[in-house]
Amino acid sequence: MCALLVATFVIPTGPIGLAKRLKEQIAPTHEVVFVGQYLFDVAVILDRKTPFYVVDDWSQRAADLPDSIRRQFTEGREFDPTSAHALIGEQELTAMLSEGRRMWIWTRRADLVPESSSLVPVASQGGYTVLRTRH
């Protein structure tokens, strides 16, 4: 029982565990993309100087969304449209993949990521999958 309790608090799982395990492999020049949700803890652990991309449907107005990080991002986009370059849709992600960028993609549902022969799965844990481009 003690071992189970220690493992629960010491061994990070899910996206946090993946971030700690993969941090050294993700170069500062690589782009990091979150599909379907922004992973704040991963962003903190990776401690990057460049923005993270967040793939979602950004067509709704902030007033139509429940209180969440998605609503906060949408409000920011509405207030300052030039700051919204990191909020992208599936088409923008597909375009980025076709450009041959070095990318790491974090997703809870891999089926939301456009099919691309340039993507390889790197790790999965706690329902999250990390994919990277082959380059």
Q: What pLDDT digit, counting tens, does each position of 44-68 carry? A: 999 999 899 999 989 999 999 999 9
Distance CA 134, CA 100 (A): 9
Q: Tell me what pLDDT residue 35 has.
A: 93
Q: Tell me what pLDDT residue 112 has.
A: 67
Contact 105, 36 (CB under 8 A): no
Q: How confident is the model at residue 116 (pLDDT cuts 50, 70, 90)?
A: confident
Q: Which residue has the higher pLDDT, 13 or 42?
A: 42
Q: How confident is the model at residue 10 (pLDDT cuts 50, 70, 90)?
A: low
| Residues contacting 35, CB < 8 A, separation 6+ | 55, 56, 93, 105, 106, 107, 108, 109, 112, 113
**Whether the predicted pLDDT of 37 surpasses 80:** yes
Contact 36, 109 (CB under 8 A): yes
Output the DSSP codes for 100-130. Answer: T--EEEEES-GGGSPP-TTEEEEEEETTEEE
Place of tokens 């099919």: 115
Q: How confident is the model at residue 117 (pLDDT cuts 50, 70, 90)?
A: confident
Mean pLDDT computed over every residue of the chain: 87
Distance CA 81, CA 72 (A): 13
| Pick from 63, 58, 64, 62: nearest CA to 38 | 58
What's the mean pLDDT in 27-43?
Answer: 93
Q: Which residues of 55-70 are buried (b: 16+ CB within 10 A; e: fewer)?
A: bbeeeeebeeeeeeeb
Dihedral sign from CA coordinates of 101, 102, 108, 113 = positive
Domain spans in the chain, listed from the N-terminal domain onward: 12-133
What's the mean pLDDT in 21-49?
Answer: 93
Q: Which residue has the higher pLDDT, 69 or 110?
A: 69
Q: Tell me what pLDDT residue 43 has.
A: 94
Tokens of 23: 């941090």
**Whether the predicted pLDDT of 94 surpasses 80:** yes
